[in-house]
Amino acid sequence: MSSVKVLDDIYWVGAVDWDVRTFHGFTYSTHRGTTYNSYLIVDDKIALVDSVYAPFAAEMMARIREVVPPEKIDYVIANHVETDHSGSIAEVLKHAPKAKVVGTARCKQGLSKHYFGDWDFQVVKTGDEIEFGKRKLKFIEAPMLHWPDSMFTYIEKDALLMPNDAFGQHIATSKRFNDEIDENSLMVEAGKYYANILWPLSSLVIKKIEEVQKQEIKISMIAPSHGVIWRSTPMKIVEAYLRWAKGESEKRVLVVYDTMWGSTEKMARAIVDGISSANVEAKVYRIPSSDRGDIIGDLLEAKGILVGSSTINNGILPTLAPLLEDLKGLKPRGKISAAFGSYGWAGGSIKVIEESLRQAGMEIASPSMSVNWVPNKEEIQKCYEFGKSFAAKIASS
Ligand code: FEO
């Protein structure tokens, strides 16, 4: 695959990772792979905005060479320290000895602690600009979106925002622009990316978007560091971020459970019937056959979640622990939740689930639903009523 012209004098020179299936270690799934986007700006001066994950350095260098000899690069803009974007900076600098690295003060600290290089570094802050010829690169610090070092780079002449991780999606594709791929799949991936990475930072997302809106900067294109470039209706993803950050959601319930010998599963099915009877949509995920990252992505726009587990050793089935741990960290906004599950003698799973949901900042809407051993006909009816009543709360929220 060649370098791709994004706009006059601006080229995509990144890399497509078709194989990666988990990100941030094994934190969440990337079923569709990802891209590491680098952009080459060729004006009187030449800048590379971000690099790629180290195993893809040679690919990126080859794409740069298609456009300019790398030794002509004057600046390497490091919007973010994380290794999927900074991992090839050292390689670029080997071929571009006069290049200066540009980033925030926290970026300088972070890069030196990652790569231990004695690089020529220019620290920038919000509002700083670098003259390039026909264009200027302008910088906007974006601390904690999603690391303390994060920054956006903006080119006024092209109304082009390069916000690094923000507005990204984990999609490997031979296409580079949003209008070239299926929009529904794109928004699902953009939402999953938001939920799994940016959810706990939602108040900062709102603040940063409002700050940029106040500056009244024109944005015709958003070129993130993962996935496709938002060329057609770029503000659609900004509006989606605002919606997600504010916790706006649809009247839908996720029922997520695991079961030891089938009793909790019987409860789940009756609960789903109850939810459906109230004309509220339910989506069911059994753990561990369902993917945790997908569930979190789906929760982004669902108002409610019911979590169920059989009791074992006075607690939950361990298969549910990673999801509950994730939710505690991600702190989903504006969700209504409750717990259910079966037990043999001393219960315990309900208490553990409720404590986790509380720690995740969710409202616990109704008394939990527990059943001793196998649910009988009356208890199945109670589970049905439990689902119906939960759905009514969702419908009226
Ligand atoms: Fe895609 Fe925070 O790195």
142-162 mean pLDDT: 96
252 confidence band (pLDDT: 50, 70, 90)? very high
State yes or no: is 85 an active-site residue: no
Higher pLDDT, 362 or 26: 362
Among the listed residues 59, 165, 265, 298, the single catalytic one is 165
| The predicted structure's pLDDT at residue 390 | 97
Q: Which CATH superfamily is domain 250-396 in?
A: Flavodoxin domain (3.40.50.360)
Using one digit for the tens of pLDDT, what is the confidence trace for 207-246?
999 998 888 899 999 999 999 999 999 999 999 999 999 9
DSSP 99: P
| The predicted structure's pLDDT at residue 25 | 87
Q: Which two tokens stand for residue 102?
A: 């540009």
Identify any residues that bridge with 41 across adjacent strands, giving them in sequence order: 10, 47
281 confidence band (pLDDT: 50, 70, 90)? very high
101-124 mean pLDDT: 96
55-60 mean pLDDT: 98
Q: Which two tokens stand for residue 179?
A: 């209008």
User: Can you name the CATH fold of 4-245?
Assistant: Metallo-beta-lactamase; Chain A (3.60.15)
Cite the residue boundaries of each domain of the chain with CATH code 3.40.50.360: 250-396
306 confidence band (pLDDT: 50, 70, 90)? very high
State yes or no: is 95 an active-site residue: no
98-108 mean pLDDT: 98
Q: Which residues form the pocket of ligand 1, taking CB atoms under 6 Å from any ligand atom? A: 80, 82, 84-85, 146, 165, 225-226
179-182 LR contacts (CB < 8 Å, sep 24+): 179/231, 179/232, 180/228, 181/228
Q: From CA 84, how far away is CA 96, in angstroms rounded?
A: 20
Strands of the sheet with 75-77, listed across from one edge: 4-7, 10-12, 39-42, 46-49, 75-77, 100-103, 121-123
| The predicted structure's pLDDT at residue 313 | 96
**Considering only 28-37, 179-188, 211-220, 275-284, which range has the smallest mean pLDDT?**
211-220
In ligand 1, the atom with minimum distance to the C-alpha of 225 is 1
State yes or no: is 82 an active-site residue: yes
Residue of the CA atom closest to atom 2 of ligand 1:
82
Cite the residue boundaries of each domain of the chain with CATH code 3.60.15.10: 4-245
Identify any residues that bridge with 46 across adjacent strands, giving them in sequence order: 42
Q: Per this entry, what is the length of the chain?
A: 397
Q: From CA 256, how far away is CA 345, in angstroms rounded?
A: 23
pTM for this predicted structure: 0.96
State yes or no: is 193 an active-site residue: yes
What DSSP assignment string belongs to 292-348? Answer: HHHHHHHHTTEEEEEEEE--BTTB--GGGHHHHHHHHHH--TT-EEEEEEEESSS--
| The predicted structure's pLDDT at residue 34 | 98
388 confidence band (pLDDT: 50, 70, 90)? very high
Identify any residues that bridge with 338 across adjacent strands, giving them in sequence order: 306
Q: From CA 223, how far away is CA 370, in angstroms rounded?
A: 49
117 confidence band (pLDDT: 50, 70, 90)? confident
Maximum Cα interatomic distance, the chain, rounded to a whole number of Å: 78
Q: Given a cut of 80, is residue 366 above it in pLDDT?
A: no
1 confidence band (pLDDT: 50, 70, 90)? confident
Using one digit for the tens of pLDDT, what is the confidence trace for 323-338?
999 999 999 989 999 9
